[in-house]
Structures are given as structure tokens and as C-alpha cells.
Chains A and B, each alone.
Chain A
Amino acid sequence: MNIVVFVKQIPDPAMPGELTAENTLKREGKLILDESDSYGVEMALQLADKAGGGEVTLVSMAPNNEVSGLRTALAMGAAKAILISDDALPGSDALGTAKVLAKAVERAGEVDLVLAATESTDGYTGTTPAQVAELLGWPSLTFAKHIEIADGKATIQRQTEAGYDVVEAPLPAVVSVTAGVVEPRYPSFKGIMAAKNKPVDEVKVTDLGLTAEQLGWAGARQQITSVAAAPAREAGEKIEDDGAAHEQIVAFLERLKVI
């Protein structure tokens, strides 16, 4: 079974975020594999193993031909990657991103399944997987917390407000996974060494049959009109627990008439 996994390379979320002059997130320097995507990579590796054949291909969009996050996912066991890096891409919105990713899936050849995280940690739009599915004309099974593949069908447990639904669709399909669907493995030393020589197909948007006008700022059809600091929430009283802090919590709750 051939599986494509979307992986985003993002600035370290532990670092404070910054905006560029164009009001997009600064994505300079070393980027890392979005932790949300590591679940998709692990799931794909397990499903390919279980199917007894096929391979896992990564697809990523990143500036400056950045591959450090991709190497992490290759070290986990993915076979190869397609990297789209192009000056036409900065400023792309979710739909522009989906257009690029859908074309990359077509470039990957015979694909049975596309896996993606529910949303990225830095952009968190949460619509890209279903947009890609619509562009490909495929079913999408979103917000999966469990996946089974059998008899040419994907069956998932789909998160709902009240619990979960069991949903199935024939392959090929796009499935988005929630964090925690599986426990991602750590890359082994052997995996890290092997990842250095795995093929990364570097492409431009024109290689995918897209034009610059459809993407980036031009394609986004939206404009940031204001960026302002949110009204700060003042920190209140801070106390060290000396064995009686619970009494102050009780008093606080009493003042609020909660108890």
C-alpha cells in the first residue's frame, strides 16, 4: 500500500512566535517536524507494514529547500519525500496550500491513502486535508482517532462533539488523524544515517502545473488590516504553598460565591 503523508516543517513552537513585515509567521532558520505530523508518519509506517508492501512518501512545503524536519520523518522510516520550495509560496492560504499538496499527491504516482494531521501547530486552519480531498475528488475521513484498512476500505473512529462515529470510505481517501492516534517512534541511529541518503524530489510550483498567481499573496485574496496586542490579563496574587494554600483557595471561591 502506497501512502502519502503531509508533513509541515515549522519553527520550534517552544520559541516565541514572530511576524514578518508582511504579517505572516516568521519561518526562518532551522525548522522542525511539526509534532502533530509525527502521528501521521507513524500511522502510515504501521499501516504499510501491516499491508505487507508499498511505501510511505512524505510531501512538504517549506522555504529555502528546508529538509531538517523531513529528515526526521525519513529517519522514522519513510522511503522518500517530495519537497515543494518556491518563492511563489509565501503568503499562501489554506486553499493555496491544498492546491499544491493535491498536485504533489498526483506526482507521487499510485497512491492508496493520504494521511495528514488535523491541523498544523503553527497555522491551525484545520481545513487543508478536506480541501485536498475535494481537489482530488476523493472521500475524506477527518479527525480520526483510530484507523483500520481492509478490503480496499478505510474505517476510522471519527471524533465528534459527543463521542465518536465509525465512518468508512473506499480507497483512495484522505484521512486526517488527531494527536494520540498512535505513539510516534523515535528515529534510531540506523534510521538517522539511512535518512541522509533517501531521495528528496525538489520541485517548483510550475513543475506541478500551477502558476504563481494562484498561490502566495496573490492567490490568498485576503489582507491583514490590523495587528494589535490583546488587552493584557493581569496576574493576580501568587502564593507559595506552606501547607495552608487550600484555605486561600476556599476563601477565593467563597468570594466568588461558587461555594
Chain B
Amino acid sequence: MKIWVYAEPAPEGDKPATSTLELLTKARELGDTVEAIYVGANADAMAPALGEHGATKVYAVDRGEALAGVVGAAALAALVEANQPDLILFAQSYDGRDALARLSVKLDRPVLTNGTDLKVDGDKAVVGTAIFGGNTLVDTKFTGPGPFLAAIRPKSFAAEPGGGGAATVEQVAAPDAGRAGEARVLEHHVEEQEGPKLEEAAVVVSGGRGLGSAEAYEPIVEGLAKLLKGASGASRAIVDAGWVPYAKQVGQTGKTVKPKVYVALGISGATQHLVGMKGSDNIIAVNKDSEAPIFSVADLGVVGDVHKVVPKLIEALQARG
């Protein structure tokens, strides 16, 4: 099976995204040939890590100021015709979904998204997804002709180098994407964040509506996260309420986290949220409502008020130095 991975850069821009390396690692396990397509200006800087994780070749496309997904889909459609891959994997990311969506129309192929597992059955790909808050696992097999198109949630597989050398880079001209290609990226804004990244932190402390107000987030959630050298996250409820930026959202429509310890403060545990965090090794929950669903997954559940429990916890941790 020939598998392609739609490679994306990490936010820092000089290396591939972790989600790309995760997909390459899985592709290496399942495929005979693994190649990547990369839409961006600095493909040579990406080639060593892409090669190390399994790609023998990188098709590189310069996008200029156009949106990556639009250029990526147009380039992929042309490359698919010439090279006939069986399966193309995308990260469940912003640009990944854009490229996947447009490519599916160009090729008239269905997509399977939100995958958390991937298998091969004969010459067909099978994508595993979790529904109902992760309580039910569903396998879905493509039945039509390939190439099969699938998006996989970050953190579904581990990224492990396989010892390969740098991938060879083949530059491909960006095709004309018509009116769709008229969308332009004018500015990039990086939201400064301190400490480890949410998806990579060993400890994640998240807050929910039980915090009571936006003002409580900083001292309670960020305060504890900082002491535990962790990252701060949030439930969808307080992101929707505008208390914290979307980038902090953990859950089905936000980020998936798998830290060693997840601390849920004032989070009831809607299925939407559980999907994003129940893969954590250990879960601590503090919530006033003893019936909150979060307690069904917590290793240590504290029925109590975050405004009483957490300040004392912070004090105790500070006292340890």
C-alpha cells in the first residue's frame, strides 16, 4: 500500500508538526511506500525529520500567500493522478481539514475524519473513531475505489523515528486554484504562551464553568498549572463564554491531551470534554456537584468548591518550595 501524508509545519515553522510525525510513524507500519506532500517555503528544513519518521520522498509546493489547504488540494489532485497513492492521511488540524475537504471534491472521494485508529484490511483502509464521549469505538471501512482520504486526531499515535535518512525533496509547481485561490493570508499573529504546550505538557490543569467568572481563571487554573510546571486548558463552556481563547480548549472540537496528570477544576465533564482528555494517565477532578460525569473517569475525585480547595492546594505546594 502506498501511503501519503499531508505534512504541516510546527508553529515555529522550522520543523514538521508533531501530528505529521505521528502520521508518518503509523504510515511506516502499514505501508510499503510512504511519501509526504508539504505545502510551504522551507521544505529542505523539513526533509531530515520527515525522512527520519518514514517518508522517502517529499513533494514540496510553495504556496506564496495563498491558503495552504487550497494549494495543497490542487497540488495533491494533480499528483494523485500521476502517482496513484492508495491512502492519504491528514492531521485533524485547521489546514489539514481544508486540504482534505477540497481534495475530496476534486477526486469525488469520501472522507473519514476524527480518526483515532487506523488499520488496513486487504486493500482497504479502516479508520477507527470514538463516539458518545469516547464510550463507543466504531471502525469504518472505505468501500469504493481509492485513494482513501482520512483525517486523524493528533495524539492518536506516538511519533517515533525509524532511522531513515533525510527524504528527497521534489519541488512541484503550485497549480492555479481558480477563484478559491484568491483567498490570501495577510498577517500571522502568534499568541505568546508561557510554559509547555497544552498537547505536550506532562501536567494539564483545566478550568470550567465552576470557576464562576473569567477573573478566577488566572489565579486558580494558571496559578496551579504554573506550580506544577504544566499547561492550562479549558472546557468549551468557558471558551464559548469568552473567558479564555479557543487555543486552550480541550475536547471534541478542541485539543486532545494525554498528559501524565490531568486536573479538571469546575468542569462537569460533558462528553464533548471527555473525548479530549480521558486518555490522560491520571485524572484529578474538583467539582461541587457530586453527580458530575467527570467523577466517573477521575482517579481522584474531590467533591468540593474549587475556590476553597485550590487556594489551599496552591499554598501547600508553595510551602514545599
> Which residues of A come within 8 Å of B, CB atoms?
13, 16-17, 19, 23, 93-95, 98, 118-119, 121, 124-131, 133-135, 137-143, 145, 155, 157-170, 173, 178-180, 220-230, 233, 235-241, 243, 245-250, 252-253, 256, 258-259
Contacts and interface: CB of A to CB of B under 8 A. Distances in A.
Interface in B253-303: 253, 260-261, 271-272, 278, 282, 284, 286, 290, 295-303
B106 A235 contact: no
B262 to A, nearest CB: 11
A259 B98 CA distance: 42
Q: Chain A: interface secondary structure?
A: mixed
Contacts of A258: 202-203, 228, 260-261
A139 to B, nearest CB: 4
A165 B187 contact: yes
A258 B202 CA distance: 9
A134 B101 contact: yes
B101 A128 contact: yes
Contacts of B105: 95, 98, 131, 134-135
Contacts of A235: 295-298, 301
A133 B100 contact: no
A138 B305 CA distance: 50
B17 interface: yes
Contacts of B316: 246-247, 250
Nearest to A36: B253
B253 A222 contact: no
A227 B138 CA distance: 5
Residue from A17, A143, A236 having most chain B Cβ neighbours under 10 A: A236
B67 A124 contact: no
Contacts of A145: 246
A128 B111 CA distance: 10
Given A142-B94, A179-B236, A245 B106 contact: no
Interface string B157-196: 0000000000000000000001111111111111100000
A230 B135 contact: yes
Given A158-B94, A178-B246, A235-B297, A224 B240 contact: no
Nearest to B278: A233
A228 B300 contact: no
A72 B132 CA distance: 26
B132 A17 contact: yes
Nearest to A244: B312
B239 interface: yes
A180 B246 contact: yes
Interface stretch (B79-87, B139-147, B206-214): B139-147
20 contacts: A93-B110, A125-B113, A134-B180, A139-B70, A142-B69, A143-B94, A159-B246, A161-B93, A170-B179, A173-B183, A221-B144, A224-B141, A229-B136, A236-B299, A239-B301, A241-B302, A241-B309, A250-B313, A258-B261, A259-B320
Given A143-B94, A236-B301, A250 B260 contact: no
B308 A256 contact: no
A119 B151 CA distance: 14
Given A124-B252, A246-B312, A95 B111 contact: yes
